[in-house]
Amino acid sequence: MYRDMTCGEPRQTDAGKVVTLSGWVHRRRDHGGLTFIDLRDYSGLMQVVFNEDSAREAHALAGDLRSEWVVKVKGTVQERRAGADNPDLPTGTVELIASDLTILNRSETPPFEVEDELNIADETRLRYRFVDLRRPRMYKNLKLRHDVIQAARTYMVGENFLEIETPILLKSTPEGARDYVVPSRVHPGEFYALPQSPQQLKQLLMVSGVDRYFQFAHCFRDEDLRADRQPEHTQIDLEMSFVEQEDVLQILEGLYTAMVKEVRPELEVPTPFPRMTYAEAIERYATDKPDVRFGMEVCRLTDIVAQSGFGVFEGVAKSGGAIRAIVAPGCADYTRRQTDELIEFVKSSGAQGLIPMHISADVSSVDEMTLEDVRSPIRNHVSLDVLRAVANEAGAGPGDLILIIAGTESVVNVAISNLRGEMGRRLELADPNTFNFLFVVDFPLFEWDDDRNGWAAMHHVFSSPRPEDADLLDSDPGAVLGQLYDLVLNGVELGSGSIRIVDREIQEKVFQLIGHSPEQVEERFGQLLRAFQYGAPPHGGMGLGLDRIVMLLAGEENIREVIAFPKTQAAVDPLFEAPGAITDEQLKELSIRVVDSGG
RNA sequence: GGCCCCGUGGUGUAGCGGUCCAACACGCCGCCCUGUCAAGGCGGAGAUCGGCAGUUCGAAUCUGCUCGGGGUCGCCA
């Protein structure tokens, strides 16, 4: 028998009880004849007292204890003497007066202490993840993730969704992300691919009459990593039959409010989740995943400055580019050094540069403004009228700083939306306790792919156009809007979904537009299209990043913090040292010969 | 693939051309100590400064390359 309670449990009401506790030695305070141990497990800390007078043997043994040793202690729970309470601990009014001590396991000196505040290099943490995860914050994150999953499952089951697992070993569908592949021993030269998402499988389940499916699905993508991207991640994957877009959105709203309410009931979650079209999001925020907790909307200055006399603007406008800006309120006093920092920031987002325009706080209004009230590299190149027009269009006033970026539409949008996020952080405009979910709807079905010089599916090839846009498939593919939607939270894309195409004619047009040959279509989608020939219900669904929502709920800024064993940016697991070589025997069995890459 | 930042005892940092065979804090080791809870006191061990090459009379410090970590653009249907 190892324990009667966990370390975090004992309270004053337990005083007098003889109990056994087990856990890790968090800290030892040795006063000679009296030794204190903070005994730790997942539930908390308990102070254990070893007294030389009353428990000579246990006290002697306690002197050997070191950090992270695993021990079992038997003793009596006792109220602490007056003035000796520790208000920082939930167990701080009691202590365990030890009578017996058993050392269950010794520990090497740990590579770092089990403390939340420590700032250890990620690689060291991952190499010793089993120690890292002992930190209360990490356990809290694991628990939070568990609770989110539980809340989601409870909600989905309550809405008549069936949880179904789908294969991890399947087939490569070379489109979108790079696949992780697994060689087949039985079929030399052939490979399985790990799913980038269970997309076709869940649609097959709809054809199978499942009606409503969900799964916590592992998804694998062999692409470069980011703070919010790991090579494998978990999606809350769902699909519903006989639904329209609004039916899916209703479920999503219910799901996410339920999850937040379960794990962070104090958070402000405005409902219903607002709907914003893709076009509106791009126009107002220059991104399809805006953080709508604060304003600072992005304006468009292209027409105003196209003939302003400033060469950069004129050139960009002439070549069909965009000139866009945001207003940093009250930031006119930004120093050269501060604006230089912002210039570096937008450069790292791909922009050529950034043009600041400071409007003096000493002027009463933009109309009263003179050249002397403006500080900007463009001041001497454009007229006062242009400066005023820029300020008015941007909605800037005295004391404000206008930040202008010029370039191609896509580059400007990336840079200015990143800059907006950065300024939002700097000025602390976003309330961390407000969760502003947002549905972005009416995405275009296709986007132009310069590399392939053709149309590509914005989401995936089974996403249905809006019924009213079906005719545009022939005349103007770029204008076709889809029954395509994203769920966005505080500037983070949580997931995408769509109503799927079940109309054969439309499906063929889409394949044609994307430039898939009939052979490619058969190779990649044959199984699903065949299924569709046997009675496919109208259906739609969504795939939602679990790691990201848990990250946001945990208040973390990196999904590694909410994944038990994540990988480094180079897709390496420092603990297992994965990936690694395999034996020659294994290679032979798999009919694989490793060619020196020459690197 | 591009760009930016980082790499000094176990951990986190300081040092940024000679006074550094490297400093501080925590941790670690030993001794003392019966009310601590980041215990305290005294003493001690531990890094050739990621690696390689170069500049220099002299390099932790400057340069180049390289490796590793982080962020980001591209990429992520």
With left for phi above 0 and alpha for psi between -120 and 50, is residue A103 left, alpha or beta? beta
Residues A81 and A29 in one domain: yes
Three-state secondary-structure class, residue A93: coil
CA of A110 to C1' of B67 (A): 26
Tell if A199 CB is < 7 Å from nucleic strand B: yes
Residues A490 and A394 in one domain: no
- Closest nt to residue A97, judged CA to C1': B35
Residues A310 and A377 in one domain: yes
Residues A262 and A328 in one domain: no
- Closest nt to residue A458, judged CA to C1': B77
Query: Residue A443 has what pLDDT?
Result: 96
Residue nearest to nucleotide B26 (CA to C1'): A113
How would you write the pLDDT of chain A (599 residues) with one tens digit per residue? Answer: 999 999 999 999 999 999 999 999 999 999 999 999 999 999 999 999 999 999 999 999 999 999 999 999 999 999 999 999 999 999 999 999 999 999 999 999 999 999 988 889 999 999 999 999 999 999 999 999 999 999 999 999 999 999 999 999 999 876 689 999 999 999 999 999 999 999 999 999 999 999 999 999 999 999 999 999 999 999 999 999 999 999 999 999 999 999 999 999 999 899 999 999 999 999 999 999 999 999 999 999 999 999 998 999 999 999 999 999 999 999 999 998 899 889 989 998 999 999 999 999 999 999 999 999 999 999 999 999 999 999 999 999 999 999 999 999 999 999 999 999 999 999 999 999 999 999 999 999 999 887 778 888 988 899 999 999 989 999 999 999 999 999 999 999 999 999 999 998 899 999 999 988 999 899 889 999 999 999 999 999 999 999 999 999 999 999 999 999 999 999 999 999 999 999 999 999 999 998 865 43
Pair of tokens at residue A255: 């799901």
Radius of gyration of chain A (CA): 30
* Chain B: bases < 7 Å from a protein Cβ: 1-4, 10-13, 26-29, 32-40, 68-77
DSSP state of A90: T
Give the Cα separation of A281 and A289 in Å (integer).
8
Residues A461 and A419 in one domain: no
CA of A67 to C1' of B29 (A): 14
Residue A406's domain is classified under what CATH number? 3.30.1360.30
A306 inside domain: yes
SS (H, E, C) A409-430: HHHHHHHHHHHHHHHHHHCCCC
Query: Residue A282 has what pLDDT?
Result: 97
A189 inside domain: yes
Give the Cα separation of A77 and A56 in Å (integer).
18
Q: For residues A321-355, b (16+ Cβ closer than 10 Å) or e, as one string?
A: bbbbbbbbbebbebeeeebeebbebbeebebbebb
Query: Residue A448 has what pLDDT?
Result: 86
Residue nearest to nucleotide B10 (CA to C1'): A111
> Containing domain of residue A42, as a range?
12-105
Query: Residue A459 has what pLDDT?
Result: 87
CA of A203 to C1' of B14 (A): 60
Residues A371 and A469 in one domain: no
Query: Residue A595 has what pLDDT?
Result: 82
Residues A155 and A189 in one domain: yes
Give the Cα separation of A449 and A477 in Å (integer).
13
- Residue A93 identity: T
A133 inside domain: no
A570 inside domain: no
Give the Cα separation of A269 and A232 in Å (integer).
29
- Closest nt to residue A223, judged CA to C1': B76
Give the Cα separation of A88 and A299 in Å (integer).
50
Tell if A70 CB is < 7 Å from nucleic strand B: no
Residue A247's domain is classified under what CATH number? 3.30.930.10
Final residue in a domain of this structure, among A87, A105, A123: A105
Residues A373 and A467 in one domain: no
Q: Which of residues 339-368 of A touch strand B (CB under 7 A)?
A: 347-350
Question: What ipTM does the predicted assembly reach?
Answer: 0.93
Tell if A409 CB is < 7 Å from nucleic strand B: no
Q: Where are the alpha helices (DSSP H) in A106-191?
A: 122-127, 129-132, 136-158
Query: Residue A449 has what pLDDT?
Result: 83
- Closest nt to residue A449, judged CA to C1': B77
Residues A507 and A459 in one domain: yes
CA of A563 to C1' of B36 (A): 37
> Which residue is associated with the tokens 């039916």?
A247
Tell if A419 CB is < 7 Å from nucleic strand B: no
Which strands sit side by side in the sheet containing A355-359, from one edge to the other? A299-300, A322-328, A401-407, A355-359, A374-375
Residues A421 and A318 in one domain: yes
CA of A495 to C1' of B62 (A): 49
β strands within A229-291, DSSP E: 232-241, 275-277
Query: Residue A157 has what pLDDT?
Result: 98
Give the Cα separation of A463 and A355 in Å (integer).
40
> Which residue is associated with the tokens 């030695």?
A25
Residues A300 and A336 in one domain: yes
Tell if A111 CB is < 7 Å from nucleic strand B: yes
Q: Which of residues 89-108 of A touch strand B (CB under 7 A)?
A: 89, 92, 95
Give the Cα separation of A260 and A262 in Å (integer).
5
Three-state secondary-structure class, residue A177: coil
Residues A415 and A453 in one domain: no
Query: Residue A173 has what pLDDT?
Result: 74
Burial (CB < 10 A; 0-12, 13-18, 19+), residue A179, is: buried
Q: Which of residues 254-273 of A touch strand B (CB under 7 A)?
A: none
Query: Residue A598 has what pLDDT?
Result: 44
Residue A87's domain is classified under what CATH number? 2.40.50.140
- Closest nt to residue A45, judged CA to C1': B37
Q: How far is CA A521 from the centre of its chain?
A: 32
Q: Which of residues 465-494 of A touch strand B (CB under 7 A)?
A: none
Give the Cα separation of A222 and A196 in Å (integer).
9
Q: Domain tally for chain A? A: 3
